Chain A
Amino acid sequence: MSAQDIILSSGTSELTPAAQVRRKLSKVAKLFDATKCSGCKACQVSCSEWNDLRAPVGSFQGSYQNPMDLSSECWTLMKYNEIEQDNKLRWNFTHSACMHCADPACLTACSTKGAIVQRANGVVDFESDKCTGCGYCVSACPFNVPRLDPIDQKAYKCSMCSDRLQVGQEPACVKSCVTGALKYGTREDMLFIADLRIKELHKQGFTKAGLYSPEGVGGTGMMMILHDVSQPENYGLPADPKTSVPVKLWQDVVKPLGTAGILATVAVACLHRITVGRNIVEEDEPAAFDHTHSDKSDKE
């Protein structure tokens, strides 16, 4: 894995872009089919097993969901969204993990060069070596995924098992999925499979079924098939996720302006030195009189 395998990097701009040559590498994606999920949590367990994470065992909070939220030690969480429909309880299971956006808000918000990268295969990954723990990614993510670790104060999230992907294996969660609700492959293949499945769902009467891959973040590397795609809130997903305006303003306007300001100051200083020259201060007192020297000259 080299710098060429990274197509987007935090802390860089269009003037200093990341390496680009591997752009032709096909994008990969995870497809989560909520209509097939049985909520068994195998994805959650295999994530914890493969990545050697053991989130503390929580206490019962009135739901089968455990732990109740993602954390630096829980990168994949099976969410048991409880919805009431026609006076009936409905469980909307959601495989909650990083969405691997094509235009990631976390990467835009991050100021540390190379701390958040997008690999040529589309995976968004955090580099904890470089993370300074500022937490900008945590507040920027529209899906509320990254978390700061309370001990080392660095941000962590699902890496789509980049270590497995680089040797050609599927992510651990996808491998373990019994019902086939999680699938992995090229983005193109996942879109094709999703299309077939949605047509089948429409035939079965789920007329509102559709694919959740919001355009506001450029499409996601984890796409979801939902029973009712018009109401993603029922799955705990935002309806229109996007990079917030202040984050964009900060990174695209304020920071370049600041840099330009500093450079302009330096340029003006140089110009002043050349055209006007150094500031010559008139000495108030004349230099101390050298008696010995003057005495000598007197004698001569």
Chain B
Amino acid sequence: MDRRQFFKLCACGATTSAISALGLMPGTAMAAPREYKLLRAKETRNNCCYCSVGCGLLMYSNGSNGKNAEQAIFHIEGDADHPVNRGALCPKGAGLVDYVNSPNRNHFPEVREPGSNEWKRISWNEAFSRIARLMKDDRDENLIEKNSDGTTVNRWLSTGMMTSSAQPNEGGFITHKFARSLGLVAIDTIARN
């Protein structure tokens, strides 16, 4: 390559880059929005359990519901077909996916013994038998079978029950039957806390 050829090459290069810098080169990628992230995600209906309004939710988890995919919720939005909220959600409800995936969630039953300030991990079986034992003892001791007039009332006033609000009518019916048959008077749902 001689001096003249070298200058020609340089001029060609500079012209080409000038043409592309002037915007005369065709673009490559088309401007497309982000891919719709729910296209084939598994959709599950549920109720928001965080207040007594009980808004309907659509929860989306990955996997096609096949047996080999481990599902994990990655998006939650309001259920437009739910008569209570018709798709809308409050800020707490709109951010539910971060509650579901929160690192601060309880993953197992824990007990704090009277007088102790430490939470101790126990098994589900231990938790169930412990609750049953304590309920039975308290009920045996404090159940009011008859009032002062001698009428049978079967009131159990020393224990209350906090139930789930995220259940359908039938679930509520069974919960109510269970609690009332024990004589419980104070029943509330976690919706009011």
Contact = CB atoms under 8 A, between A and B. Distances in A.
Interface of A: 1-3, 6, 9, 11, 40-42, 44-46, 48-50, 113-114, 117, 125, 127, 129-130, 159, 162-167, 172, 175-178, 259, 262
Report, nearest first, the 10 A-B pairs whose CB atoms are least far apart: A162-B33, A46-B94, A45-B94, A163-B34, A45-B95, A41-B91, A45-B91, A1-B32, A42-B91, A178-B88
Interface stretch (B21-29, B41-49, B143-151): B21-29
Given A175-B77, A262-B18, A6 B31 contact: yes
A175 B85 CA distance: 10
Contacts of B36: 163-164, 166-167
Contact of B89 (A114, A165, A178): A178
Given A46-B89, A176-B77, A176-B78, A159 B33 contact: yes
A42 B89 contact: yes
B22 A262 contact: yes
A48 B88 CA distance: 16
Interface of B: 18, 22-23, 27, 29-37, 39, 75-78, 80, 85, 87-91, 93-95, 97-98
Contacts of B90: 40, 42, 178
- Residue among A40, A50, A178, A259 with most chain B CB within 10 A: A178
Nearest to A13: B23
B30 A1 contact: yes
A172 B94 CA distance: 9
Contacts of B29: 127, 129-130
A177 B31 contact: no
Given A3-B30, A41-B91, A127-B31, 13 more contacts: A45-B94, A50-B75, A127-B29, A130-B31, A163-B35, A163-B37, A164-B36, A172-B77, A175-B77, A175-B78, A175-B80, A176-B78, A259-B22
Contacts of B93: 42, 176
Q: Looking at A11, A40, A117, A176, which has the most chain B CB atoms within 10 Å of its CB? A: A176
B88 A177 contact: yes
10 contacts: A6-B31, A42-B91, A46-B77, A125-B33, A163-B36, A165-B33, A166-B36, A167-B36, A178-B85, A259-B22
A113 B26 CA distance: 10
Contacts of A164: 36
Contacts of A176: 77-78, 87-89, 93-94
A50 B58 CA distance: 13
Contacts of B37: 163
Nearest to B30: A3
Nearest to B22: A259
Nearest to B95: A45
A92 B27 CA distance: 44
A296 to B, nearest CB: 28
Nearest to B37: A163
A49 B91 contact: no
A146 B29 CA distance: 22
B98 to A, nearest CB: 8
B109 to A, nearest CB: 30
Nearest to B76: A49
Contact of B87 (A6, A50, A167, A175): A175
Given A113-B23, A175-B88, A2 B30 contact: yes
Contacts of A175: 77-78, 80, 87-88
Nearest to B33: A162
Contacts of A165: 33
B20 to A, nearest CB: 11
A3 B31 contact: yes
B23 A44 contact: no
A185 B98 CA distance: 29
A1 B32 CA distance: 6
Contact of B97 (A49, A113, A167, A177): A49
